[in-house]
A and B are shown apart, each in its own frame.
Chain A
């Protein structure tokens, strides 16, 4: 059983570029969650999606950040015009029916 997969594991971008982070949930899971963890801090919820729908985006910054979970393919977290403050570990989790969440290994974004 493959767990939650995220790629890339490490991503380096220069200020102003775009970052695309991908998350493939566990087989059979239709709920996806994105979290951000800044250095030396706890995880902060960003967005919760089900297939083709955003359920809760209360933790997403209002600008530059967007997320999708299309009918086919992985969930994508997109960050436009990255700034140094976006440097963090981004974790994706999945669940079935909103139960306990299983986390991926994370994508570490570094903005130069």
Chain B
């Protein structure tokens, strides 16, 4: 699996967009980018995934650069409940075991 690099922590004001970066410079052509998050003491929660096109759902948007070496998860209007550790994971298509690294600890403040 391609390794990912994320900043250890970020903060964001409530109501503003939270942009969480992820570098995956060794990603290969059949590998997808997945994002999960884990709110304190809870199980991880799937957010979104993509291959090469930008993706959007009710939770977030995923922007993948054209060379696919990095991506950004965007929470358009962060709330206090979005405070969590966010994990960027790269998985080959058909693979089933995400490897959770350290992730980015996002703190949304009032």
Q: Determine if chain A interacts with chain B.
A: yes
Please give the residue numbers on chain A whose beta carbons come within 8 Å of chain B beta carbons, in ascending order. 4, 31, 33, 35, 42-45, 48, 56, 89, 91, 93, 95, 98, 100-106
The residue in chain A whose Cβ has the minimal distance to the Cβ of B32 is A100
A56 touches B46 (CB 8 A): no
Would you give the 0/1 interface string for B9-38, flagging 1 where the beta carbon is closer than 8 Å to chain A? Answer: 000000000000000000000000010001
A91 touches B96 (CB 8 A): no
Minimal beta-carbon separation of A105 from chain B (angstroms): 5
The residue in chain B whose Cβ has the minimal distance to the Cβ of A43 is B100
Would you give the 0/1 interface string for B85-98, flagging 1 where the beta carbon is closer than 8 Å to chain A? Answer: 00100000011111
B43 touches A31 (CB 8 A): no
A45 touches B97 (CB 8 A): yes
What is the predominant secondary structure among interface residues of chain B facing chain A?
A: loop
Instruction: Name the contact of A42 in the complex, choosing from B34, B46, B96, B102 (C-beta under 8 A).
Output: B102
**Bound complex: CA A95 to CA B36 (Å):** 14
The residue in chain A whose Cβ has the minimal distance to the Cβ of B49 is A100
A91 touches B43 (CB 8 A): yes
| 8 contacts across the A-B interface (CB closer than 8 A) | A33-B96, A43-B44, A43-B100, A91-B43, A93-B43, A95-B96, A101-B98, A103-B43
**Most chain B CB atoms below 10 A, which of A31, A48, A93, A104:** A93
A106 touches B42 (CB 8 A): yes
